[in-house]
Amino acid sequence: MIEIEISKPLGGMRLALSLQIEEGSFVALTGPSGSGKTTLLRILAGLEGARGRISVDGRAWLDGKSSLAPQKRGIGFIFQEYALFENMSVEENLLFIEKDSALASHLLEMTGMAQFKDRLPSTLSGGQKQRVALCRALMKRPGILLMDEPLSALDPAMRQRLQGDILRLHREFGTTTIMVSHDPSEIYRLAERVILLHHGSVVADGSPKEILMKSSGSQKFSFEGELLDLVRVDAVYVAVVAIGQQLVEVVVAKEEAKRLQIGKRVQIATKAFAPMIFQ
Amino acid sequence: MSGIDFGPFLLSFKLAAVTTLLLFFIALPLAWWLSQTRCRCKPFIEAVTSMPIVLPPSVLGFYLLWAFSGSSFLGEFFQEYFGVKLVFSFTGLVVASILYSFPFMVQPLQSGFESLSRRMIEAAYLGGKSSLTTLFRVALPNIKPSLITALIVTFAHTIGEFGVVLMVGGSIPGETKVASVAIYEFVEIMDYETAHIYSAIMVAMSFAVLLGVYLFNHRYNSRIGIGR
């Protein structure tokens, strides 16, 4: 059990949180940028100071002024920027953390990185680097695994594959995993609890279904996208909207088109009575 | 050419080598600390360590001469405990050179450390590694161009010393008469031929050293993909 009761001034606002996290759970931290997600993770890791208390399984990590050094917390941490040791090969990156070559081979095998074990990080792709970082973070068999937007720099296919790796390793090692993520599908797939932060405080806390499905029960599709263009076709307009990686065209009436502005975020919604699903 | 005495060159090299070696171990912890600290005293310490760049060598030389003299605390201390006279001695030259070349070792190392990814350093800490282990296993191996620059420029800068050496060391053959001082003396006694030869050797050596540094950095950077 992780118990957190902290506060810290943060660029004009205040990060003030009181949280309890169950051992072995998978928690997603989400919220707009600048809401304090990364700072919370860094405070948990001991990379930044804060006022208050953090205790893990009854042991104080932070208590008033005294703070346990990051070296002694025994956590695994994954940065968005991979942060591999550039002077060491893939395998050396793992062994530097813990001289356990059986575990290193097992982790590299699990993530499909065994064939790259002698390569230097600079020769790997983003997805490969993050898989190495994941392996490295588990070399100390940590009780807690913290991930700061680990997949946000990767393409969708690579994301999916790494989501699978993360989930499998989370289960195998029984870690308490806390992940910062902006991607609802990723959160839905991995996490059993979502904490939504805004301006440094928790504004929602619950299961992914409760938090992520804003229009729950209304049987409605709702997508947010960017309006790229408005093209006049006879009496109507066609709006071109980018939703994620996909472009869609939507017919809009003339009066509606007048209220829209190119480049703005728009919401597209439709009733979902009889949708077709393909695989 | 046969009459050329290479003693002063050898002495210059010996001085530069000893200075570079000692200075590396003195400057390394400081450069690492400066790159990592958020202490408010940092600008103050940076200013102090950079002073030898802007101070006229005569100013540094004068203070050192004063500090090294038998009646000063430092001079007395060395005399008493090590039995070493600092003024007009090789040991004194080494101490003076360490101070004089200090910024040339600290600055490249510090900026090398500062250019490293902060996350990479933090990853080592989170993996349970101490600051010292992180310095030697992660930070230092990842700043090779800065390391080479620091070592070579310090070496070259010490070879090129003149003012401080002249004031603190004088010109005792085999003890403190380094190449730059020797050239000065040849000019003084109007032996231009020898001065020419000595100077040409210095020019060639300096060029070779600097070219070596730049070639290494160029190759290293293109190998690891910087500037592509």
Chain A residues lying within 8 Å of B142, measured CB to CB: 85-87
Q: What is the pLDDT of residue A155?
A: 86
pLDDT at A178 over 80: yes
Q: Has residue B32 been placed in a domain? A: yes
Phi, psi of A32 (to 5 degrees): -65, 160
pLDDT in tens, A87-100: 999 999 999 999 99
pLDDT in tens, A147-174: 999 998 888 888 889 999 999 999 999 9
Q: Has residue B177 been placed in a domain? A: yes
Element (H, E) at A198: strand A193-198
CATH number where B21 lies: 1.10.3720.10
Single-letter amino acid code for the residue at B58: S
pLDDT in tens, A204-214: 999 988 888 76
Q: Has residue B214 been placed in a domain? A: yes
Q: Of A71, A79, A96, which is closest to B119 when you measure between CB atoms?
A: A79
Q: What is the pLDDT of residue B227?
A: 42
Residue A39 is encoded by which pair of tokens?
Answer: 């700072």
Q: Has residue B213 been placed in a domain? A: yes
Mean pLDDT for the stretch of residues B145-155 = 91
pLDDT at A219 over 60: no
Mean pLDDT for the stretch of residues B25-46 = 93
Lowest mean pLDDT among A93-97, A134-138, B73-77, B138-142: B73-77
Q: What is the pLDDT of residue B225?
A: 57
Q: How many domains does chain B have?
A: 1
More confident residue, B73 or A141: A141
More confident residue, B110 or B176: B110
Residue A267 is encoded by which pair of tokens?
Answer: 């919401």
Q: What is the pLDDT of residue B86?
A: 80
Q: Has residue B130 been placed in a domain? A: yes
Chain B residues lying within 8 Å of A81, measured CB to CB: 117, 119
Residue contact B128–A140, C-beta within 8 A: yes
Chain B residues lying within 8 Å of A97, measured CB to CB: 127-128
Residue contact A85–B123, C-beta within 8 A: yes
- The CA distance from A19 to A178, in Å, is 12
For residue A133, the chain B residue with the least C-alpha distance is B123
Q: Has residue B2 been placed in a domain? A: no
Burial of A142 (C-beta count, 10 Å sphere; 0-12/13-18/19+):
buried
Q: Has residue B1 been placed in a domain? A: no
Instruction: State the pLDDT confidence band at B226, using cuts at 50, 70 and 90.
Output: low
Q: What is the pLDDT of residue B220?
A: 80
Mean pLDDT taken over chain A: 89
Q: Is the dihedral of CA A182, A183, A186, A187 positive or negative?
A: positive
Residue contact A79–B125, C-beta within 8 A: no
- The CA distance from A14 to A201, in Å, is 8
Instruction: Please give, rounded to a whole number of angstroms, the shortest distance from the CA of B136 to a CA of chain A.
Output: 12
Q: What is the pLDDT of residue B224?
A: 64
Q: Is residue A67 a contact partner of residue A59, using CB atoms and an 8 Å limit?
A: no
For residue B122, the chain A residue with the least C-alpha distance is A47
Mean pLDDT for the stretch of residues B113-122 = 94
Return the percent helix, strand and coil in chain A, to nearest 5.
30, 35, 35
pTM of the model: 0.81
pLDDT at B115 over 90: yes
Instruction: State the pLDDT confidence band at B228, using cuts at 50, 70 and 90.
Output: very low
pLDDT in tens, A247-261: 888 888 888 888 888
pLDDT at B199 over 50: yes
Alpha helices in chain A (DSSP H): 37-45, 90-97, 101-110, 126-137, 156-173, 184-190, 208-212, 254-259
Instruction: State the pLDDT confidence band at A215, using cuts at 50, 70 and 90.
Output: very low
Only one residue has tokens 């937007």, namely A149
Percent of chain B with pLDDT over 90: 49
Residue contact A85–B142, C-beta within 8 A: yes
Q: Is residue A136 a contact partner of residue A97, using CB atoms and an 8 Å limit?
A: yes
Q: Has residue B180 been placed in a domain? A: yes
Instruction: State the pLDDT confidence band at B32, using cuts at 50, 70 and 90.
Output: very high
What is the distance in angstroms between the CA of the first residue and the CA of the last residue of chain B?
48
Q: What is the pLDDT of residue A214?
A: 63
Q: Of A47, A83, A122, which is closest to B120 when you measure between CB atoms?
A: A83
Residue contact B123–A74, C-beta within 8 A: no
Distances from the Cα of A274 to the Cαs of A270, A271, B133, in angstroms? 11, 9, 62
Mean pLDDT for the stretch of residues A178-185 = 91
Q: What is the pLDDT of residue A216?
A: 47
Chain A residues lying within 8 Å of B122, measured CB to CB: 45, 47, 70, 77, 79, 83
Interface predicted TM-score (ipTM) of this complex, two decimals: 0.80
pLDDT at B53 over 70: yes
Residue A40 is encoded by which pair of tokens?
Answer: 């919370």
Mind giving me the DSSP string for A144-196?
EEEEESTTTTS-HHHHHHHHHHHHHHHHHHT-EEEEE---HHHHHHH-SEEEE
Distances from the Cα of A148 to the Cαs of A61, A78, B38, B57, B118, in angstroms? 20, 6, 24, 51, 15
Residue B147 is encoded by which pair of tokens?
Answer: 């390391």
Q: Is residue B154 a contact partner of residue B100, using CB atoms and an 8 Å limit?
A: no
Mean pLDDT for the stretch of residues A76-82 = 93
Domain ranges, residue B18: 7-224
- The CA distance from A28 to A178, in Å, is 6
Element (H, E) at B79: helix B73-81
